[in-house]
Amino acid sequence: MEKIVDTSDEWILSRTGISERRICADNEFSSDMAVNAAQKAIAMAGLTPADIDLILIGTVTPDYRVPSLACIVQKKMEMYNSAAMDIVAACAGFLNGLAVGNAFIKSGQFRKILIIGVEKLSSITDYKDRNTCVLFGDGAGAVVLEETADDRGILSTYLKSDGRFTELLWIPDGGTINPCQKIKGRDAEVYLKMNGSEVFKHAVRMMGEASLKALHSAGLTGKDVTWLIPHQANIRIIESTAKRVGISMDRVYLNIAMYGNTSSASVPMALDEANRAGRLKKNDIILMTAFGGGLTWASAVVRW
């Protein structure tokens, strides 16, 4: 990063906690990462792709604007027994997907739901902008949701948005207001733009709020939480959230140093990593929370 923008490793690490990011090859796309994560999640659930009846993908970096990334993944995995749709809620995309999937399971409309969080943020990052490029990375994570007979699983979810803050984190051009063919006499702004310090202030407040609301709905407090698995955007935001909710940092799962901010992939990647490392035990209370552009913020409490 020091070679491409005016920054220092020391600044990035001390202000964000990030020391590495994973970036896709030019010929690797969101659908490739999504398929990779989905195959592992479906295998871990002891299912086959044909068992899935709904695919939900949280992403702001689909392969194409049309059709949805969920349809591309459906085709690549031949999951033709399913419906498929994308959920656009920036970094809260996966947790919005989890809440939507949970509601569908409860309604009985779908029975086995694949929920993916995936981003190729490198495709919308301006590597001349030090305010953003040091933060973002690429990745994917996935879960399979189905009904259980016991009292484990999703205990509560909380979702919220505030569209008044659109311009704090956005891509100005390429939509219907500024379609590419109408942009004349200036460079198109097709990369993520962020007002970092303003987003930071909201993130601290909203990740705490989302966490407390979901815990309250589940009849729990921070003391009951075995693991907080937060969106890995900034170590200082995570520390403030943990403090507000009353969770000590040894109960917070962190992988921000390795991957940076991977938006909607962040929470499911951390969840999967914690699980595969054997850190999550049966009946553990897991609190997941995320915050992102929109603004959007969300959380979920799970008995593992």
161 binds ligand UT7 (CB under 6 A): no
**243 to each of 148, 198, 207, 208, how far by Cα in Å?**
33, 20, 11, 9
Q: Which of 54, 60, 91, 287 binds ligand UT7 (CB under 6 A)?
A: 91
CB of 192 to ligand UT7, least distance (A): 10
Identity (one letter) of the amino acid at 11? W
Choices 48-56, 101-109, 193-201, 267-275; region in contact with ligand UT7 by CB under 6 A: 193-201
d(CA 108, CA 120): 33
In the three-class reduction of DSSP (H, G, I as helix; E, B as strand; rest coil), residue 250 is classed as helix
Min dist CB 281 to ligand UT7, Å, is 29
| β-bridge mates for residue 182, sequence order | none
- Give the pairing of strands 296-303 and 153-161: antiparallel
Question: Per rule CB under 6 A, is residue 197 in the interface with ligand UT7?
Answer: yes
Q: Which residue is nearest to ligand UT7 (CB)?
A: 196
- Does 130 sit near ligand UT7 (CB under 6 A)? yes
Q: Which of 57, 54, 77 is nearest to 69 (CA)?
A: 57
Give the integer Cα–Cα distance in Å for 9 and 87: 34
Helices (H), 139-262: 196-217, 235-245, 256-259
Residues 234-293 that bind ligand UT7 (CB under 6 A): 234, 237, 261, 291-292
Specify whether 91 is catalytic: yes
Q: What's the rounded Cα separation, in Å, for the pair 16 and 261?
A: 10
Could you say which of 91, 133, 202, 234 is catalytic? Answer: 91
94 binds ligand UT7 (CB under 6 A): no
- Kindly tell me which residue out of 54, 98, 154, 203 binds ligand UT7, with binding defined by CB under 6 A: 203
Instruction: Please identify which of the residues 96, 102, 234, 261 carries the catalytic annotation.
Output: 261
Positions marked catalytic:
91, 231, 261
Residues that bind ligand UT7 (CB under 6 A): 7, 11-12, 15-16, 91, 130-131, 134, 169, 196-197, 199-200, 203, 233-234, 237, 261, 291-292
